């Protein structure tokens, strides 16, 4: 290869590398804080129980706020709490105080290690399973997508890396919001075994999006005592308006925790490994609305504490459905108002400035119950938007006289030409 050819080859190679580096992509890389997740967090002995109490209080308050929704309802308040806990790491001032009150969060230095410890405990495999028993599956995953040109504080990135295992996917929201949205949706689908698809609808992220904090949770478990599919048959299910539909009713004789309360019955069905269970509360005929409207953490705690092992002839309908929500108005109605207000939000713990607010909190959940067990999944996305104007390559304000041309772009023919010296003349 002669000198001239070598120089030309080197120039082409250098140009190719430069063009590749300049080509925008939906997700350029994974940026880590430099710190790994703490796998043995140091916490006070009561930290997990206090966190669970707070999370459960929020869970029932969120349920009551959403009960006006028509039809079936499914949500994962734990997924919502996790996504907002990562967001809370960057909240300051009154925004932080409101989030703590609504979400029942402890101070920052206590909350994040406690969430880490709880996550690790929840995902721990149950012990003492027989060879023919399939262990409960609970996967919890967190991830963050951030605008590649936006500076985030190292302390904030460290907090979510240490306690939530969430690195930062760099995304080009300013120029390629749609590919970034699809990438987030694909991640959610993968983490939820394809049960949560299209979490973010088209247009939910845009050029003013600076960060999307995402949690995904997937649960699958077999009943400790499974229903015999041969005993499943058609049976009436009576709706609250007095009409009835035909359901696939599973039937079994079980010895389980049960309670006959004032105006309701309650039963608990354990999953294999006995580290999880489904509690079912059935208000008496005609009293569902009254019971549902007053259902609270205190009511649930009382029911759970009073259940006793009982022989029960149980009929339970098979069911499967998906539900999605935009939670901004719900959270604001509970008292978390500043976080959604561009003029009042303070997430300076993220960037050092009060330049971000929560544009939306989007949640989607799925549940399926059959003779074998239960499968459920959920995902939550917190979309952070900028309080200032979007960042663009060029800022052009047409605030002086200009010429305009209207033309046929197929043939190039000018159809109109003119100028504007005074747009209000």
Give the other-Cβ count within 10 Å of 387's Cβ. Answer: 17
For residue 294, tell me if it sits in a domain: yes
> Do 169 and 196 sit in the same domain of this protein?
yes
Whether 328 and 309 share a structural domain: no
Rounded mean pLDDT, 272-287:
88
In terms of residue numbers, what domain contains 294?
A: 233-317
Q: Are residues 288 and 185 in the same domain?
A: no
Structure confidence at residue 98 (pLDDT): 98
- Do residues 37 and 115 both lie within one domain? yes
- Establish if 397 belongs to a structural domain: no
Q: Name the pLDDT band for 36 (thresholds 50, 70, 90).
A: confident
What SS3 class is residue 115? helix
Cβ 325 vs Cβ 361: under 8 Å: no
Give the list of residues 6+ apart from residue 40 with CB closer than 8 angstroms, or none: none
**35, part of any domain:** yes
Residue 16 lies in a domain: no
The average confidence (pLDDT) of the chain is 86
Please report whether residue 412 resides in a domain: no
pLDDT in tens, 292-315: 988 898 999 999 999 999 999 999
Tell me, what's the pLDDT at 18? 35
| 132/249 same-domain check | no
Do 309 and 359 have their domain in common? no
pLDDT of 123 reads 83
- The residues, any chain, with a CB within 8 Å of residue 416's CB and separated by 6 or more, are 404, 405, 406, 407
Q: Is residue 178 part of a domain?
A: yes
At 249 the pLDDT is: 92
Phi and psi dihedrals of 253, rounded to 5?
-95, 120
Q: How high is the pLDDT of residue 409?
A: 62
Q: Quote the pTM value.
A: 0.85
Examine the domain organization and report whether 39 and 76 are in the same domain: yes
Q: How many CA atoms lie within 13 A of 341 on its CB side?
A: 12
Residue 412 or 74, more confident: 74
**Could you tell me if 115 and 255 lie in one domain?**
no
More confident residue, 19 or 363: 363
Residue 4 lies in a domain: no
Q: How many domains does the chain have?
A: 2
Q: For position 278, what pLDDT does the model report?
A: 87
Instruction: Say if CB 160 and CB 136 are below 8 A apart.
Output: no
* Residue given tokens 């939670």 in the structure block: 327
Residues 128 and 92 both lie in one domain: yes
**Same structural domain, 193 and 251:** no
If asked whether residues 45 and 110 sit together in one domain, one would say yes
d(CA 298, CA 417) in angstroms, rounded, equals 73
Asked whether residue 11 is assigned to any structural domain, the reply reads: no
We report the CATH number of the domain holding residue 44 as: 3.30.497.10
Query: Are 302 and 250 in the same domain?
Result: yes
Per-residue pLDDT, 3? 46
Contact 11, 165 (CB under 8 A): no
């Amino acid at each position: 290869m002669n000198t001239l050819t070598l120089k030309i080859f080197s120039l082409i190679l250098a140009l190719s590398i430069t063009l590749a580096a300049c080509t925008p992509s939906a997700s350029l890389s994974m940026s880590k804080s430099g710190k790994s997740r703490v796998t043995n967090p140091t916490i006070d002995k009561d930290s997990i129980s206090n966190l669970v109490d707070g999370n459960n209080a929020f869970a029932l308050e969120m349920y009551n706020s959403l009960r006006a929704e028509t039809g079936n309802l499914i949500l994962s308040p734990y997924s919502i709490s996790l996504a907002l806990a990562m967001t809370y790491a960057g909240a300051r001032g009154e925004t932080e105080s409101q989030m703590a009150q609504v979400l029942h969060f402890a101070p920052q230095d206590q909350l994040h290690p406690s969430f880490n410890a709880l996550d690790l405990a929840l995902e721990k495999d149950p012990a003492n399973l027989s060879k023919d028993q399939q262990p409960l599956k609970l996967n919890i995953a967190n991830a963050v997508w951030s605008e590649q040109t936006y500076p985030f504080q190292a302390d904030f990135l460290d907090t979510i890396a240490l306690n939530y295992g969430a690195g930062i996917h760099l995304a080009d929201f300013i120029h390629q919001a749609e590919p970034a949205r699809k990438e987030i949706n694909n991640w959610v689908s993968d983490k939820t075994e394809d049960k949560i698809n299209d979490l973010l609808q088209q247009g939910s992220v845009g050029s003013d999006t600076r960060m999307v904090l995402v949690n995904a949770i997937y649960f699958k478990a077999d009943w400790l005592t499974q229903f015999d599919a041969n005993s499943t048959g058609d049976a009436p299910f009576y709706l609250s308006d007095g009409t009835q539909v035909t359901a696939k009713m599973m039937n079994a004789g079980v010895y389980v925790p049960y309670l006959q309360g004032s105006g309701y019955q309650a039963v608990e069905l354990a999953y294999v490994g006995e580290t999880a269970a489904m509690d079912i509360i059935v208000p008496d005929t005609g009293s569902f609305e009254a019971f549902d409207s007053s259902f609270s953490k205190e009511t649930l705690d009382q029911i759970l504490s009073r259940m006793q092992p009982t022989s029960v002839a149980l009929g339970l309908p098979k069911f499967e459905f998906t539900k999605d929500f935009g939670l901004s108005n719900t959270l604001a109605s509970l008292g978390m108002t500043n976080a959604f207000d561009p003029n009042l939000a303070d997430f300076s713990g993220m960037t050092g400035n009060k330049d971000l607010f929560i544009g939306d909190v989007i949640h989607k959940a799925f549940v399926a119950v059959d003779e074998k067990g239960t499968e459920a999944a959920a995902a939550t996305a917190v979309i952070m938007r900028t309080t200032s104007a979007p960042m663009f390559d060029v800022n052009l304000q047409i605030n002086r006289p200009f010429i305009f041309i209207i033309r046929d772009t197929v043939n190039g023919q000018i159809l109109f030409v003119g100028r504007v010296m005074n747009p209000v003349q």
